Amino acid sequence: MDDETFSSIVEQYTNYAYNIAYRMMNNPADADDVVQDAFLSAYRARDRFRGDAQVTTWLYRIVVNAALQKIRKERKPQRMAATNVEDVEIVDWSPGPEAQTLNDELREKLEEAIAELPEDLRTAVVLRDVQQLTTEEAASTVGVSVPAFKARLHRGRVILREQLNAYVTSPKH
C-alpha cells in the first residue's frame, strides 16, 4: 500500500477509529493517544496488508489492539467482581431501546457501565453494538472464532443489563 492510499484510509476512517478508541478508553485524551498509536502501527504494517480482509477489519483490529495495550499498560484495577451470568434474570425494559438511548442520562449510565466491563467483553460490546460490525467482522477483528465472540458478547450484554436494571426500572424513569 503506497503513502497516498494510506493517507486516504486515515482521512476516511479517523472518526471510526476514534469512536472505537473512545468507547474502549472512555476518555478523549486516551482515545486520541490510541488512535495515534493505531495509525502509527497501521502505517508501519501497511506493506503487510494483503487485501484478504476489508480495510475496516484490518484497521479496527489495530485500534482495538492499541486500546488493549494501553489498558494493560495502565492496568487499572478491575471494578467489577466476577458474576455468574447463568443466574441473572433478564428483565424486559419497555419501552424500546431506541427511546431509552435518546435519554442523555441513560446514555451516560450506559457508557459508564461499558467502561466497567472487563476488556474482552467491552471490546465485544463496542465492536458489535456500538460500531455495528457484523458478528463475523467483529470476531475477525478480535482474532477469535465466531462462537467465542458470541459468548463474549452475550456475557457483556448480560452484565450491562444487570448493571443498568436498577436505573431503568426505577420509578423516576
pLDDT (tens digit per residue) in 45-95: 887 777 767 788 888 888 888 888 888 787 655 455 555 555 555 555 555
Query: Number of folded domains in the chain?
Result: 2
Compute CA 35 distance to the chain's CA centroid, rounded to the nearest angstrom.
14
Assess whether 163 and 92 both reside in one domain: yes
Residue 89 maps to a domain: yes
Assess whether 49 and 93 both reside in one domain: no
Summarize pLDDT for 130-140 with one digit per residue, the tens.
888 889 988 98
Region 17-34: mean pLDDT is: 89
Going by C-alpha positions, the residue among 38, 39, 58 that lies closest to residue 48 is 58
**Which structural domain, as residue segments, surrounds residue 108?**
85-169
User: pLDDT confidence of 18, banded at 50, 70, 90?
Assistant: very high
Contacts of 34 (CB under 8 A, 6+ apart): 21, 24, 25, 63, 66, 67, 70
At 146, which helix (H) or strand (E)? Answer: helix 146-169
Contacts of 106 (CB under 8 A, 6+ apart): 100, 164, 167, 168, 173
Assess whether 62 and 124 both reside in one domain: no
Residue 79 maps to a domain: no
Which single residue is written with the C-alpha cell 431503568?
A: 168
Residue 80 maps to a domain: no
Assess whether 165 and 146 both reside in one domain: yes
The answer to whether the CB of 126 falls within 8 A of the CB of 114 is yes
Q: Measured between alpha carbons, how far is 28 from 111 in angstroms, rounded to an integer?
A: 13
DSSP alpha helices (H): ranges in 26-145?
A: 28-44, 55-74, 97-101, 104-116, 119-125, 135-142
Of 74, 101, 119, which one is at a domain's C-terminal end? 74
Region 97-124: mean pLDDT is: 76
Assess whether 70 and 136 both reside in one domain: no
Assess whether 66 and 38 both reside in one domain: yes
Assess whether 62 and 17 both reside in one domain: yes
Residue 110 maps to a domain: yes
List the Cα angle 100/167/163 in 5-degree steps: 100
Of 74, 103, 122, which one is at a domain's C-terminal end? 74
Q: pTM, whole model, 2 decimals? A: 0.51
Q: Measured between alpha carbons, how far is 139 from 142 in angstroms, rounded to an integer?
A: 5
